[in-house]
């Protein structure tokens, strides 16, 4: 797999024959499932999250913004689901997820993940331990003092144009796999 950005959380995820739709490629809804598997792996299965009992009441997905970049076909090689934290809010983490198989990025998602309060079922403030944990997955240029309640949004929102037709002359026909755009 392509080397992910330093500090990225990476989940190796196989495609399944049952993920293929009538068009012969992996269904777009299943691609969202890979994003969710990566987020669940980071928040619930990462050794630090487990050891420190972070996110004891789980989390909520508040938003998905998705760019489908290439058609993905079932192959035996697993996908690389690469997650970085773009920004921390009072109760949320803005996570960039790239779904890749060397050398291509098939989709890029920006997902807002919110810490959940068990009693109310609503969002709650991130703990200092949770903030430190999530800050470790931020690119060095974006990482800020994790003690502050809200990190400034230093990076502009990630926007990737979706190409609908054939590549323009002189342009690369396929996108290369990278952990996230800076």
What pLDDT, on the 0 to 100 scale, is given for residue 102? Answer: 87
Q: What is the pLDDT of residues 1-13, one digit of tens each?
A: 455 566 899 999 9
What pLDDT, on the 0 to 100 scale, is given for residue 154? Answer: 42
Q: How many residues does the chain have?
A: 182
The answer, yes or no, to whether residue 182 has pLDDT greater than 50, is no
What pLDDT, on the 0 to 100 scale, is given for residue 106? Answer: 95
- 146-155 long-range contacts, CB within 8 A, separation 24+: 146/88, 149/90, 149/125, 150/88, 150/89, 150/90, 151/87, 151/88, 151/89, 153/87, 155/86, 155/87, 155/182
3-state secondary structure of 101: strand
The answer, yes or no, to whether residue 63 has pLDDT greater than 60, is yes
Please give the model's pTM, rounded to 2 decimal places: 0.76
The answer, yes or no, to whether residue 180 has pLDDT greater than 70, is no
What pLDDT, on the 0 to 100 scale, is given for residue 114? Answer: 97
What torsion do the CA atoms of 114, 115, 118, 119 make, to the nearest 10 degrees?
-70
| pLDDT band at residue 141 under the 50/70/90 scheme | low
Higher pLDDT, 85 or 171: 85
What pLDDT, on the 0 to 100 scale, is given for residue 140? Answer: 76
> What value does the mean pLDDT take over residues 154-182?
45
The answer, yes or no, to whether residue 64 has pLDDT greater than 70, is yes
């Amino acid at each position: 797999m392509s080397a992910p950005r330093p500090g990225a959380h990476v989940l190796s995820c196989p495609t399944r024959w049952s993920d293929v739709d009538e068009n012969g490629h992996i269904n777009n809804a299943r691609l969202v499932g890979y994003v969710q598997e990566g987020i669940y792996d980071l928040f619930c299965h990462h050794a630090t999250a487990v050891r420190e009992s972070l996110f004891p009441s789980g989390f909520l997905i508040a938003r998905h913004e998705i760019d489908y970049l290439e058609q993905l076909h079932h192959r035996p090689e697993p996908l690389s689901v690469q997650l970085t934290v773009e920004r921390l809010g009072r109760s949320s983490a803005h996570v960039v997820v790239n779904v890749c198989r060397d050398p291509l990025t098939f989709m890029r998602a920006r997902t807002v993940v919110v810490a959940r309060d068990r009693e109310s079922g609503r969002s709650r403030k991130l703990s200092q331990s949770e903030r430190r944990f999530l800050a470790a997955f931020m690119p060095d240029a974006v990482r800020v003092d994790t003690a502050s309640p809200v990190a400034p949004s230093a990076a502009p929102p990630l926007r990737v144009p979706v190409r609908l037709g054939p590549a323009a002359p002189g342009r690369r026909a396929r996108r290369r796999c990278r952990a996230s755009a800076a």
